[in-house]
Amino acid sequence: MKQPADGRIALGDDVWFDRARKINRAPDRRSVGLVFQEYALFPHMTVAGNVAFGGASPTRVGELLERFGIGHLAREKPPRLSGGERQRVAVARALGRDPSVLLLDEPLSALDAHTRTAVREELADILSGLQIPTLIVTHDFLDASTLADRIGVIRDGQLHQIGRPEELTAHPADEFVASLTGGNLLHGVADGTRVTLDDGTVIEVGEAATGRVGVAVYPWEITVSSTAPAAGNVIAGTVGALTPDRGRTRVRVGPLVAEVASADGLERGARAFASFAPRSARVIS
């Protein structure tokens, strides 16, 4: 088994790995329940058989099936289950050995967009009722922000930022975090609170800076109209995509994507104006 080059992994006072102290507990002796990316349920086994596979007693299997509302599916086999039902079986199986930590490896990536939304909400309900630490690996910020209390952003083995979802969007540590969390990125040269963008547009930002900077603005902080507003930062452009998204509409105007309640009066190819308040413009050095 490949070992980390450095570091320490512990659950409370129980140390699983410590490079300096030459501690490296075997994986089968670490109390971890794992939910695989595509659930990895055994198709030839019943739901009850899958949950029992990790060593859970018949009594424990019955408790878990009832807890997750799948007791009536005990004799069914995975191919006959919905995505949400398979997920519940996978979580129940992982909990069957009473782990101290639950690890979910991209639990929603195998689902289509429609199913993913419903299953994400189901999983959030399940996790909120658990009383053990849970780690979720995902590339999707919406999944992370829905399911997690705290998010750690990792790229190329480096931790860029850790915090609550709203902290990451309010104060992204760098352009990678801003992009991952859905921000629009603009670039220019700052002189105090004024930034001259690369296309020559001048905007006001929320904090003073000097020199080359990035500016992050989130779609829900941008308004779009067919006439230029009298106040705020204004960027003119041509309307690109108009995409309905969960009761709102995502509109691209020039370099910006906005999320608006109504796109009435906006047409693809027409000239429009995207505007946002200076306090919404986060400077990223």
d(CA 161, CA 69): 37
- Amino acid 1: pLDDT: 59
Q: Render pLDDT for 146-182 as a digit per residue (tens, 0 to 9).
A: 999 999 999 998 999 999 999 999 999 999 999 999 9
Q: If you count them, how many residues does the chain have?
A: 285
Q: Render pLDDT for 196-220 as a digit per residue (tens, 0 to 9).
A: 999 999 999 999 999 999 999 999 9
Contact 9, 26 (CB under 8 A): no
- Amino acid 151: pLDDT: 97
- Which pTM was predicted? 0.84
Q: Render pLDDT for 91-100 as a digit per residue (tens, 0 to 9).
A: 999 999 889 9
> pLDDT at residue 68 above 80?
yes
Q: Report the interhelical angle of 58-67 vs 83-95 (nearest 10°).
A: 140
Provide the percentage of residues in the chain whose pLDDT is more than 90: 72
CATH architecture type of domain 31-148: 3-Layer(aba) Sandwich (3.40)
Q: What is the mean pLDDT of residues 116-135?
A: 88
Q: What is the mean pLDDT of residues 43-48?
A: 96
- Amino acid 78: pLDDT: 95
Domains of the chain by residue range: 31-148, 182-285
Task: Look over the chain and give the mean of its residue pLDDT values, rounded to a whole number.
Answer: 92
